[in-house]
């Protein structure tokens, strides 16, 4: 699989309105404090290092020129063989050149990433080869095939008739296969969300199949107004791969997902110098540690005394954290049954945040 990053690194949000819902959270707790975008980008790239890419193609621009050397040095550290160039694509001409380069390789699938804030949070990659094998099989009968790698809570419910996300965004869909690995469904008018592993046909269809003129094109969403993608086969994993750093702050109305259900992400204290310390199962919050307690009632951005940073199990810690953890302190007196119940309840919410309690 090819990693194709085509991105702009800036602290100015693409959609400022989506930042406001998290402002209170980011200002209330040191662990959840909003980092600079260059650090989010580095954090995301560090997570992608876990995937055995066959080729890495990076197109970029930076708003703050002082960040350029930081970015390039980090790329050299994590992807020493990457093909790196400027500027990032901003119209069909520049996109066409990148797409032709990417599609010149023999690989059938491309991890397309115009975003720089969807890190890989999976605890292992056991299901990724199975997803790609499934996508390859479907590509024999469907010209446009993709695997959705982020916004899990929304897309795992996209084909579910009656779910809020289905009613508002994906009623033009039909499930063609559902198993323990993924739900696979056809979107009759396609989906241009820029969080998809795509086959080369789909990437070429978006950026090369029609004349888009001089229109500003910085991501796949910008193409949708020019052309549909008929009968796109979408595969949604049953296990979460990546997550949006800002969480679900973009959701509104009937599809709204609260940060108290699924919080935004954070860069753990000590990540970049491999000194992460984890306190697991303790009822009282510890500053300077990543606090994980599935049995806690609230997250730390609501309660700095008895809240927790995460409600996952030790087995759910992101794969790319593991080599950077210096210490794990487990509360031997923790109520293991309550912890198990809390973890299960949290992941039930992640799978369906609109479910009735």
Residues in CB range of 173: below 8 A, 6 or more apart:
158, 159, 166, 185, 186, 187, 188, 234
In contact, 237 and 181? CB cutoff 8 Å: yes
User: Residue 66's pLDDT band (boundaries 50, 70, 90)?
Assistant: very high
Picking from 99-103, 160-164, 326-330, which range would have the lowest pLDDT averaged per residue? 160-164
In contact, 244 and 117? CB cutoff 8 Å: yes
CB count within 10 Å of CB 284 equals: 11
- For residue 64, give the DSSP letter: S
Residue 6 above 90 pLDDT? Answer: yes
User: Residue 22's pLDDT band (boundaries 50, 70, 90)?
Assistant: confident
In contact, 10 and 116? CB cutoff 8 Å: no
Average per-residue pLDDT in the chain? 95
- Nearest CA to 60 out of 80, 35, 41, 36 is that of 41
The structural domains of the chain, with segments of one domain joined by +, span: 2-237, 268-351
User: Residue 252's pLDDT band (boundaries 50, 70, 90)?
Assistant: confident
Q: Distance between alpha carbon 87 and the CA centroid of its chain, in Å?
A: 23
User: Residue 101's pLDDT band (boundaries 50, 70, 90)?
Assistant: very high
Residue 357 above 60 pLDDT? Answer: no
Mean pLDDT over 186-202 rounds to 97
Mean pLDDT over 14-33 rounds to 80
In contact, 9 and 116? CB cutoff 8 Å: yes
User: Residue 48's pLDDT band (boundaries 50, 70, 90)?
Assistant: very high
Picking from 24-33, 226-235, 272-281, which range would have the lowest pLDDT averaged per residue? 24-33
Instruction: Give the integer Cα–Cα distance in Å for 137 and 133.
Output: 6
Q: Which CATH architecture does the domain made up of 2-237 adopt?
A: Alpha-Beta Complex (3.90)
- pLDDT at position 19 is 63
- pLDDT at position 253 is 87
- What pTM was estimated for this model as a whole? 0.96
Percent residues over pLDDT 70 in the chain: 98
């Amino acid at each position: 699989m090819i990693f194709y990053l085509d991105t702009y690194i800036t602290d100015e949000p693409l959609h400022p309105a989506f930042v406001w819902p998290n402002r209170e959270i980011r200002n209330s707790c040191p662990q959840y404090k909003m980092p600079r975008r260059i650090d989010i980008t580095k954090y995301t790239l560090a997570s992608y290092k876990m995937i055995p890419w066959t080729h890495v193609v990076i197109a970029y621009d930076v708003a703050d020129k002082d960040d350029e050397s930081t970015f390039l040095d980090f790329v050299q550290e994590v992807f020493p063989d990457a093909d790196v160039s400027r500027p990032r694509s901003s119209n069909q001409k520049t996109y066409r050149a990148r797409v032709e380069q990417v599609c010149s390789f023999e690989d059938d699938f491309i991890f397309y990433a115009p975003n720089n804030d969807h890190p890989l949070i999976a605890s292992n990659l056991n299901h990724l080869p199975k997803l790609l094998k499934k996508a390859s099989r479907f590509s024999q009968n469907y010209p446009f095939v993709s695997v959705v790698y982020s916004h899990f809570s929304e897309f795992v419910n996209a084909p579910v008739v009656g779910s809020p996300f289905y009613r508002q965004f994906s009623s033009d869909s039909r499930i063609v296969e559902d198993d323990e690995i993924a739900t696979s469904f056809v979107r009759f008018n396609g989906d241009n969300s820029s969080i998809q592993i795509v086959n080369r046909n789909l990437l070429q269809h978006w950026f090369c199949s029609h004349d888009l003129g001089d229109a500003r094109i910085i991501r796949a969403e910008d193409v949708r107004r020019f052309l549909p993608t008929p009968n796109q086969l979408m595969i949604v994993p049953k296990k979460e791969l990546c997550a949006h750093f800002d969480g679900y702050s973009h959701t509104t109305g009937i599809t709204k997902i609260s940060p108290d259900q699924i919080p935004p992400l954070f860069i753990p204290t000590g990540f970049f110098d491999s000194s992460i310390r984890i306190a697991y199962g303790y009822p009282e919050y510890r500053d300077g540690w990543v606090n994980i307690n599935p049995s806690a009632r609230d997250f730390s951005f609501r309660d700095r005394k008895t809240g927790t940073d995460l409600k996952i199990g030790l087995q759910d810690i992101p794969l790319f954290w593991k080599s950077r953890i210096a210490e794990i302190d487990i509360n031997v007196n923790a109520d293991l049954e309550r912890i198990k119940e809390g973890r299960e309840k949290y992941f039930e919410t992640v799978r369906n945040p609109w479910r009735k309690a």
